[in-house]
């Protein structure tokens, strides 16, 4: 058990070892401890035992009736939820600092290792897309570049959470083109149809805080045959729209 505790998120481990103050901190860490212990594969019974031991280290020990209501019953409720988790964003009030957090460093390292290699040759993709889609192909290529930029800079791992607005902003800031959100949406659908990317999660909170899809690069290869040109409805007025 001690080895498992060592692998907890640093902020949760500190609360688990030292106990928590009653109120907001207690409720937040109660949930975080349950989620972390579930992540390690502990049974519900084992999680309840650990919560009761943690309670003894907290600011004020809960009486027996409150232990059942606030710990045992709550653990049962969490266990019944199909999707019940807590990420670093939800624990930011208790963050010890990313530069000190071994959990964060390990997560970033793993995510970077997952995506060290490009999913496919971006030069081949650019050539294929511009031949097939003309100017719209260039927009599609810029979208790919922005997804890759976020993946590397934010160490997202394989799944990249970002919204259409954020993609448009990245293209504006790094490639000096103004593209409306509907065009981004349409070209993303074209990239999906070409088998270059896929949406694996819909509507989560993204890298920039807005609702976002979770994208993943696919193992695309340039076709050997000359691509057929597709004429889309892009218009140009000193911008790509």
C-alpha separations of 166 from 145, 152, 171, 173, 183 in Å = 13, 16, 9, 10, 13
What pTM does this model have? 0.56
pLDDT at 40 (0 to 100): 86
Is pLDDT at 152 greater than 50 in this prediction?
A: yes
C-alpha separations of 100 from 2, 4, 25, 76, 107 in Å = 21, 19, 21, 33, 13
H or E stretch including 70? none
Residues 6+ apart with CB under 8 A from 58: 19, 20, 21, 22, 26
- 115-217 folds as Arc Repressor Mutant, subunit A (1.10.10)
pLDDT confidence band for 141 (50 / 70 / 90): very high
Q: Supply 207's token pair.
A: 């890298």
Higher pLDDT, 84 or 173: 173
pLDDT confidence band for 39 (50 / 70 / 90): confident
Residue intervals in the chain for CATH 1.10.10.10: 115-217
Is pLDDT at 207 greater than 70 in this prediction?
A: no
Task: Give me the phi and psi of 217, to 5 degrees please.
Answer: -70, 145
pLDDT, tens only, 103-120: 666 665 565 666 678 889
Q: Supply 148's token pair.
A: 């890759």
pLDDT at 236 (0 to 100): 40
């Amino acid at each position: 058990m001690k080895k498992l505790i060592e692998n907890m998120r640093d902020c949760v481990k500190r609360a688990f070892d030292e106990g928590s103050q009653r109120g907001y901190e207690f409720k937040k860490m109660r949930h975080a401890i349950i989620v972390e212990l579930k992540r390690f594969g502990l049974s519900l019974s084992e999680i309840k035992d650990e919560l009761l031991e943690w309670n003894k280290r907290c600011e004020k020990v809960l009486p027996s009736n409150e232990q059942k209501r606030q710990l045992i019953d709550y653990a049962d409720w969490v266990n019944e939820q199909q999707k019940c988790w807590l990420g670093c964003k939800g624990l930011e009030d208790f963050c010890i600092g990313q530069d000190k957090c071994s959990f964060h460093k390990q997560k970033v390292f793993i995510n970077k290792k997952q995506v060290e290699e490009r999913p496919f040759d971006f030069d081949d993709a650019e050539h294929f897309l511009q031949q097939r889609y003309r100017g719209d192909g260039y927009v599609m290529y810029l979208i790919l570049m922005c997804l890759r930029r976020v993946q590397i800079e934010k160490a997202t791992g394989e799944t990249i959470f970002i919204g259409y607005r954020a993609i448009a902003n990245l293209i504006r800031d790094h490639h000096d083109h103004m593209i409306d959100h509907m065009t981004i949406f349409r070209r993303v659908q074209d990239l999906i149809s070409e088998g270059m990317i896929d949406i694996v999660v819909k509507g989560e909170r993204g890298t920039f805080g807005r609702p976002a899809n979770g994208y993943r690069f696919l193992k695309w290869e340039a076709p050997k045959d000359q691509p057929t040109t597709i004429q889309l409805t892009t218009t140009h007025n000193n911008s790509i729209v």
